[in-house]
């Protein structure tokens, strides 16, 4: 058995892990990164990146279909489109491959040693890694646990065969004729909408009484309208109870119904990946199924840190990256703490949804008296030129000093506004700060400007 001694061991090569390793390498810290599968973790390989590639391809195909049907709002027309899904998948895989190579190059540039294999902690300083060339024992002064998460399964719909998770959905070799999606959260709706645009007949089954339960109904209403326009049936207050043949059995309104489903996508959330990694050998305080951490991502064990999905919600790649960067700085001796005012969340549905900070309801629940301002894209020139007028930007601020507390938007392409929203909140902007900033015309960002003006009672274009 080989043995390696290092300053920093990172267990897991997803967004939190590889960023921690890259930043540690930049600090000149001797670092070993252990990854069982491909670098980049769920996000790069079977999550964020491939799903967005599929969503974009689906939107392009759907636009071509509308042209063939002479339904394009721009007066475009063309012959019936055809889809070579194998080429779509190959294009998506090519993007993932390029990014994999990029991550590996960045790690190499930082002098990070990559151990490919399954790692399991022996104690708080030691990890045993099963590699292709035999076991390696890694001893480290500091350990970062960045083991991520896995799709959550349902007891009556275990993964296998036609019952798939988002991982398998992104590796399908053909577009299914029918698809049932169990779960109307962002993963289920993103993928369900994409496959509907690619030609599948899609039914969404959700136990709650509305879609995207983590977001308020004002934000999700345009998404509901779009699902109906795409022919996606949404069953709310419904429970998937099992499957037989090519059908999913659903209990809705006290009655059983069979939903045609060549493929059943179970998208009911994700759970922390803590099993079979030796974490049970460590004296870690837990917060339910997640590793408990403080504001520096420190666990209950000295010099053992944890970042990303394994530490709980929000399970977002950019949160993991920020945490990983911070931990590397701490190991390097810098003073840091994770006190983020806002971590923007984006649903790449149709239309897209962005939320940063508090919603109006959350702000009131926190005891604030508030002002709100909402500006619709129906009054935004750029949205009109895109043929995408459904949606709005909404701001929430304290009533007394006008400090921004939260910013939300729903509409085509609003994911690109997320950085501006987050920056405004982190900088402590007030309504007057955004209202006094010149926004380029014509852009969707003008809706952000106008929402702040409206909250001040000074809207110009509505």
pLDDT > 90 in the chain, percent: 96
215 appears as a binding residue in the annotation? no
Please indicate if the annotation marks 188 as binding a ligand: yes
Question: 318 among the known binding-site residues?
Answer: yes
User: Residue 93's closest CA among 13, 146, 132, 38?
Assistant: 38
* 309 in a labelled binding site: yes
Q: Name 421's Cβ contacts closer than 8 Å, sequence gap at least 6.
A: 342, 344, 354, 356, 357, 407, 409, 448
Instruction: State pLDDT tens for residues 182-239.
Output: 999 999 999 999 999 999 999 999 999 999 999 999 999 999 999 999 999 999 999 9
Query: What pLDDT, on the 0 to 100 scale, is given for residue 146?
Result: 98
Query: Is the pLDDT reported for residue 70 higher than 90?
Result: no
**Is residue 5 within 8 Å of 139, Cβ to Cβ?**
yes
Mean per-residue pLDDT for 364-374?
Answer: 98
pLDDT band at 73 (very low <50, low <70, confident <90, very high): confident
102 is in an annotated binding site: no
Query: Does 269 belong to an annotated binding site?
Result: yes
Quick one: pLDDT at residue 344? 97
183 is in an annotated binding site: yes
Q: What percent of the chain has pLDDT over 70?
A: 100
E-only strand ranges, 146-232: 149-151, 163-164, 178-182, 201-206
* Buried-exposed string 19-35: b where 16+ CB fall within 10 A, e elsewhere: bbbbbbbbbebbbbbbb
Q: How far apart are CA 214 and CA 226, in angstroms?
A: 19
pLDDT beyond 90 at 1: no
pLDDT at 451: 98
DSSP 144: E
Angstrom distances, CA of residue 260 to CA of 178, 190, 246, 265: 6, 20, 6, 13
User: With DSSP H G I counted as helix, E B as strand and the rest as coil, what are the percentages for the chain, rounded to 5?
Assistant: 35, 30, 35
Identify the pLDDT of residue 292.
Answer: 98
Check the annotation: does 147 bind a ligand: yes
Q: How confident is the model at residue 460 (pLDDT cuts 50, 70, 90)?
A: very high
The domains found in the chain, sorted by start residue, are 2-46+90-151+271-331 (3.50.50.60), 163-268 (3.50.50.60), 345-455 (3.30.390.30)
What is the pairing mode between strands 345-347 and 352-357?
antiparallel
- For residue 310, what pLDDT is reported? 98
State pLDDT tens for residues 396-445. 999 999 999 999 999 999 999 999 999 999 999 999 999 999 999 999 99
User: Going along 146-212, which residue ranges are E strands?
Assistant: 149-151, 163-164, 178-182, 201-206
pTM assigned to the model: 0.95
Residues tagged active-site: 441
Q: How far apart are CA 172 and CA 199, in angstroms?
A: 14
How far apart, in Å, are the Cα atoms of 273 and each of 133, 145, 159, 181, 279?
A: 25, 10, 16, 23, 10
Averaged pLDDT of the chain: 97
The answer to whether 420 and 365 have CB atoms below 8 angstroms apart is no
d(CA 175, CA 57): 13
Q: With 0-12 CB in 10 A as exposed, 13-18 as middle and 19+ as buried, what is 15?
A: buried
Average pLDDT over residues 62-78: 90
Tens digits of residue pLDDT in 247-303 = 999 999 999 999 999 999 999 999 999 999 999 999 999 999 999 999 999 999 999
Does 315 count as an annotated binding residue?
yes
The CA distance from 404 to 372, in Å, is 10
Q: What span, in angstroms and rounded, lies between the C-alpha atoms of 98 and 107?
A: 14
Q: What is the pLDDT of residues 38-61, one digit of tens each?
A: 999 999 999 999 999 999 999 999
Q: Is residue 68 annotated as involved in ligand binding?
A: no
Please write the tens of the pLDDT for every residue from 372-389: 999 999 999 999 999 999
Higher per-residue pLDDT: 372 or 79: 372
> Could you tell me if 151 and 270 are in contact, meaning their C-beta atoms sit under 8 angstroms apart?
yes
Q: How confident is the model at residue 245 (pLDDT cuts 50, 70, 90)?
A: confident
Per-residue pLDDT at 78 exceeds 90: no
């Amino acid at each position: 058995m080989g043995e390696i001694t290092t300053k920093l061991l990172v267990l897991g090569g997803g967004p939190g892990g590889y960023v921690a390793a890259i930043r540690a390498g930049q600090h000149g810290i001797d670092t070993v990164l252990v990854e069982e599968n491909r670098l980049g973790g769920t996000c790069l390989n079977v999550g964020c990146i491939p799903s967005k590639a599929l969503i974009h391809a689906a939107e392009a195909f759907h636009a071509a279909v509308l042209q063939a049907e002479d339904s394009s709002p721009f007066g475009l027309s063309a012959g019936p489109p055809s889809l070579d899904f194998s080429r779509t998948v190959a294009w998506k895989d090519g993007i993932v491959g390029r990014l994999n190579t990029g991550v590996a190059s960045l790690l190499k540039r930082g002098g990070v040693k990559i151990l490919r294999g399954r790692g399991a902690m022996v104690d708080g300083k030691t990890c045993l890694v099963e590699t292709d060339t035999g076991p390696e024992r890694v001893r480290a002064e500091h350990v970062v646990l960045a083991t991520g998460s896995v799709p959550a399964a349902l007891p009556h719909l275990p993964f296998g065969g036609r019952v798939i998770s988002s991982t398998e959905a992104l590796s399908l070799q053909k577009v299914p004729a029918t698809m049932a999606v169990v779960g109307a959260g962002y993963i289920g709706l993103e993928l369900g909408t994409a496959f509907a645009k690619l030609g599948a007949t899609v039914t969404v089954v959700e136990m709650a009484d509305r879609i995207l339960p983590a977001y308020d109904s004002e934000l999700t209403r345009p998404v509901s309208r779009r699902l109906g326009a795409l022919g996606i049936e949404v069953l709310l207050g419904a429970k998937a109870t099992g499957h037989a043949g090519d059908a999913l059995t659903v209990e809705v309104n006290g009655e059983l119904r069979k939903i045609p489903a060549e493929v059943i996508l179970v998208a009911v959330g994700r759970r922390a990946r803590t099993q079979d990694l030796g974490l049970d050998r460590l004296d870690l305080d837990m917060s339910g199924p997640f590793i408990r951490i403080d504001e520096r991502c420190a666990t209950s064990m000295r010099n053992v840190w944890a970042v990303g999905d394994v530490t709980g919600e929000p399970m977002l790649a950019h949160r993991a990256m920020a945490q990983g960067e911070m931990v590397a700085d701490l190991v390097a001796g810098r003073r840091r703490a994770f006190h983020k005012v806002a971590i923007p969340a984006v649903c790449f549905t149709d239309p897209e949804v962005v939320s940063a900070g508090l919603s109006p309801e959350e702000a009131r629940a926190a005891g604030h008296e508030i002002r709100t301002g909402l500006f619709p894209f129906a009054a935004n020139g750029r949205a009109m030129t895109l043929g995408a007028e459904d949606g709005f930007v909404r701001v929430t601020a304290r009533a007394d000093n006008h400090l921004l507390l939260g910013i939300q938007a729903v509409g085509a392409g609003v994911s690109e506004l997320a950085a501006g929203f987050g920056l405004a909140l982190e900088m402590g902007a007030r309504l007057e700060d955004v209202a006094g900033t010149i926004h380029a015309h014509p852009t969707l960002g003008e809706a952000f400007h106008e929402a702040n003006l409206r909250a001040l009672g000074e809207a110009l274009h509505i």
